Each structure stands twice: as C-alpha cells, then as structure tokens.
Amino acid sequence: MSRSLPYFFVAFAAGCLMAVMTHLNAVTAFYGSPMFASWVGHGAGTIAAIIILAVLYLIRPKDTASEPKPRAPWWAYLGGVSGAATVITASLAVNSPLALSGAIALGLGGQVLFSLAADQWGFFGLAARKLDRRDLLTVAFILAGSLLVILAGAQA
Amino acid sequence: MIQAILFAVTAGVLVGISRQVNGRLSLSTSPMVSSFFNHIVGFAVMCVVAVIVGGLIPPTIRDIPYYAYLAGPFGVIFVAAGSLAITRIGAVNTAVLIIGGQMITGAAMDLAEGVTAAPLLRFSGLALILVGMLLAQGRRA
C-alpha cells in the first residue's frame, strides 16, 4: 500500500462531490443563469470557508512549531480568476452547436491535456513529475470511458 | 463551430490552471486557506462580470430550492481537496481521479432518477474509468 493512496481517495471523493455540486449549480442556473449560480456559489463558498477556517483555528492543536513555509508568489492568490473565467467560457460552449455533452467531453480533454503538460514540465511552481507509459494509458482509459458515459447520457 | 470548440477546450484548461495555481498557494499556506482565496477572488471577479453583463438577480430567485445553495460550501471542500491532492499525486492523477469520481457519481445519480438509456454504453464506459483509476494508483509514487 503506497503512502499516496489516501490522496487518490481524496481526489476521487472530490470528483464525487463535484458531480453533486454540478447538479446543484444546474438547479440554480435553471431558475436564474450560470452567472448567478457562479456568483452565489462563490459568495456562499467564501462564507463557508471563513466558518471552516474559524473552526480549524479554534480547534488547532497547541504549540505546533511547524517549519516556516516558502512565501507564496502574488499570482498564487489568483486561482479564483481562472475559476470564474471557466464559468464564462463553459456557458459559451454549452450554448453552442456542441451542446452539453460535446462541451463536457472537450472540456475534459482540455483539462487532461493541460494536466499532462503541467506534470511533464511543472507549471505554476508545482514540481514536475515525468510522465510514463502508465500515465498515458490511465488517461486513455479515463477519457475513453468518460466519452462512452457522456454518449450514453446524450442518448437519454 | 471552431469557436465553440475553443471555448470548451479553454474551459477545461482553465480548470487545470486554477487547480495548479491553488495547489501552489496551498504549499505556502494550507488547502483551506487556498480555497478561501479562490472563492473570495472568484466572487470579486463574478461581481465585476455581473455589473458588466447586468441582470444578475433572477426574477425567479424565490423558486430556487434552499438546498441548491449548498453548491458553494461543497465547492470550498472540492477546491481544498484538489489543492491537497495535486501537491501529493500530481496534476494528471488528480484530474483523472476527479473525472472518474464525477462520472461514476453522475451515472449513479442518473440511475437513481430512473435514467436508464444506453446501459451497455454507460456500463462499459464506467468499467473503462475504473480500470483507468486502478492503473493510476498502481504507479509507484
């Protein structure tokens, strides 16, 4: 059992959460717009984050003399800009001849291609992780499987 | 059509960029702090977008069920989890595991709602995803 296994579970659980979140966002977007869903989602998320951080601060263990961490570059605070921009490009793609399933499939493709490049060369201050044949095989299986699931969904 | 394809692919790339940047911030702070900044900065950007586009508050706002607002808090956990995972198992593994979890849960939710079209396509797709996820975690470090 590898030490990194728990983090695979974390990522998988995040994906499960993402599916529920997407569904809830779609409910909000149905009564309003994708813009409103994203605006209210980021707002409610900010409040939730403050509450969680406050709780974490209150229950923090005493005297944790952790070693000082490297300072974050200024752009590291701007991940939210990219997240907000996603909403705009995604809704433009969905309201096009591609329709929802096509937009999702191409979006997954874009995300995976970027991740491959990011691991190979180490983008945005994260360590490079040289790709091997297993990575490419993994990506091929996940993308092919996702395409089939999306196709099945489009037939519903 | 070319334009629509570009929009869709860009949306995916932006998801990857945001996870990478949030991951970098979490190295210097923590995944939760990183998620907080992701949301507050995203909220500020969406406020600007709303002012430019206009018509933010939908007239049917009262029809939105309260549970739908849970998307925001779920998003906070999602971003924190992504920031934690990407710094430990890398961008590819994080992306494929998230996509796998999303597809499997999405299909389960469809089934629960009685959507049973194309079962063969759906289950062979899910099987491929499972194989991919097992492959991903089988790699040493």
pLDDT at A154: 81
Residue with tokens 């809830």: A24
Do B14 and B34 have their domain in common? Answer: yes
Do A17 and A92 have their domain in common? Answer: yes
Do A20 and A91 have their domain in common? Answer: yes
Name the DSSP letter for residue B118: S
CB contact under 8 A, A20 and B74: yes
> Domain containing A86: what range?
1-60+77-96
In this model, does residue A137 exceed pLDDT 90?
yes
Do B52 and B20 have their domain in common? Answer: yes
Do A49 and A11 have their domain in common? Answer: yes
Q: Which band of pLDDT confidence, cut at 50, 70 and 90, is reported for residue B141?
A: very low
Beta-carbon contacts of B82 under 8 Å, excluding residues fewer than 6 positions away, are: A11, A14, B19, B22, B23, B94, B98
Buried residues in A15-52 as b, exposed as e (16+ CB within 10 A): bbbbbbbbebbebbbebbbbbbbbbbbbbbbbebbeeb
> Domain containing B17: what range?
1-89
**What percentage of chain A reaches a pLDDT higher than 70?**
97
Do A30 and A83 have their domain in common? Answer: yes
Two structure tokens written together for B94: 């994080």
Is A144 among the domain residues? yes
Do A82 and A134 have their domain in common? Answer: no
Do A5 and A34 have their domain in common? Answer: yes
C-alpha distance from B134 to closest chain A C-alpha (Å): 8
In this model, does residue A3 exceed pLDDT 90?
no
Do B116 and B126 have their domain in common? Answer: yes
Render pLDDT for A24-77 as a digit per residue (tens, 0 to 9): 999 999 999 999 999 999 999 999 999 999 999 999 887 766 778 889 999 999
Q: Is A54 on the interface with B (CB under 8 A)?
A: no
Residue range B44-49: average pLDDT? 96
**What percentage of chain A reaches a pLDDT higher than 90?**
74
Give A61-103 as a DSSP string.
PS---PPPPPPPPGGGGGHHHHHHHHHHHHHHHHTSTTHHHHH
- Tell me the average pLDDT of chain A: 92
In this model, does residue A1 exceed pLDDT 60?
no
The C-alpha atoms of residue B106 and residue B103 are separated, in whole angstroms, by 5
CB contact under 8 A, A13 and B135: no
CB contact under 8 A, A17 and B74: yes
In this model, does residue B48 exceed pLDDT 60?
yes
Q: How far is residue B65 from each of residues A22, A29, A123, B71, measured CA to CA in Å?
A: 15, 12, 40, 12
Do B43 and B112 have their domain in common? Answer: no
Lowest mean pLDDT among A54-68, A71-85, A110-124, B8-22: A54-68
* Nearest CA-CA partner of A153 in A89, A87, A108: A108
In this model, does residue A156 exceed pLDDT 70?
no
Do A92 and A110 have their domain in common? Answer: no
pLDDT at A118: 97
Of B89, B114, B130, the residue at which a domain comes to its end is B89
Of B89, B104, B129, the residue at which a domain comes to its end is B89
In this model, does residue B76 exceed pLDDT 80?
yes
pLDDT at B24: 97
Q: Which band of pLDDT confidence, cut at 50, 70 and 90, is reported for residue B43?
A: very high
Number of domains making up chain A = 2
The C-alpha atoms of residue B24 and residue B28 are separated, in whole angstroms, by 7
Identify the residue among A52, A121, A141 best suited for mutation to test binding to B, counting B beta carbons within 10 A and taking the highest. A141
In this model, does residue B10 exceed pLDDT 80?
yes
Name the DSSP letter for residue A71: P
Do B64 and B105 have their domain in common? Answer: no
Do B23 and B72 have their domain in common? Answer: yes
pLDDT at A73: 96
Given B73, B78, B125, which is nearest A14 (Cβ)? B78
Do A86 and A123 have their domain in common? Answer: no
Q: ipTM score here?
A: 0.94
Do B27 and B51 have their domain in common? Answer: yes
Is A145 among the domain residues? yes
C-alpha distance from B18 to closest chain A C-alpha (Å): 5
